[in-house]
Amino acid sequence: MNTTIDEIAPQTYRISTGVPTPDGVGFTFNQYLLIADEPLLWHTGPRMMHAATRAAIARVIEPSRLKWIGFSHYEADECGAMSDFLAEAPNAQAVCGRIGAMVNMGDVTPNTRALRDGETLDIGGARLTWFDTPHVPHGWDCGLIFDETGKLLFCGDLFTQGGADHAPLTESDILGPSEAFRGPLDYFAHAPSTRTHLERLAALNPETLACMHGSAWRGDGGALLRELAGRVG
């Protein structure tokens, strides 16, 4: 595994680990570190990657300084290393949506901040608003956060790109590659409200998309989300 850390926006770092896959194409797992008065790690990565992710964080801040450790929905690549990070950051608190807190995180840690739809968490340097997106792309507990300060959407599994070698940040097409990846292994739930949720996110007009797999992207995020809605909605 090869883990890198790069600043993709002011005080926002993409931590990325590329792993081999049986087909030889590879895959990336990304976490995002926000440096603020109350530093936040978004996605922990799987537990087996904890040491590598921790070492990358330590290049920027001492991991014990983390205050918030959050995720979109309950999966190993989103929060597998949650307990490890909470154990070494004594003032840290898990953060997710209300459904995730109710059905999953209560069994992991009682110290979870449950955000309601539209609620904003001010971490001192970034204002993060949670949007419920049940089943988009999958998971009843799914939701995404938007940094209104930096116009940056932490878009989780949306725009997942295959491959293990990606630029930290690109302005090139990611919809084509992500749709090619989705084709044979469709990870969308295709719920009745899929288009509605994507249109709601598009209305935020994000300028940067912090993807969980592949490159982060910069450009007209609203237009790209509407194009995605047309493909899957």
pLDDT tens-digit map of 143-199: 999 999 999 999 999 999 999 999 999 999 999 999 999 999 899 999 999 999 999
Structural domain harbouring 178: 2-232
Cβ-in-10-Å burial (0-12, 13-18, 19+) of 23 comes to: exposed
Residue 98's pLDDT is what? 97
pLDDT, the chain, mean: 96
Per-residue pLDDT reduced to its tens digit, 46-57: 999 999 999 999
CA distance 49 to 45: 6
CA distance 86 to 58: 15
Name the domain count of the chain: 1
Confidence at 24, pLDDT banded by 50, 70, 90: confident
Helix (H) or strand (E) holding 232: helix 221-232
Domain containing 211 — which CATH number? 3.60.15.10
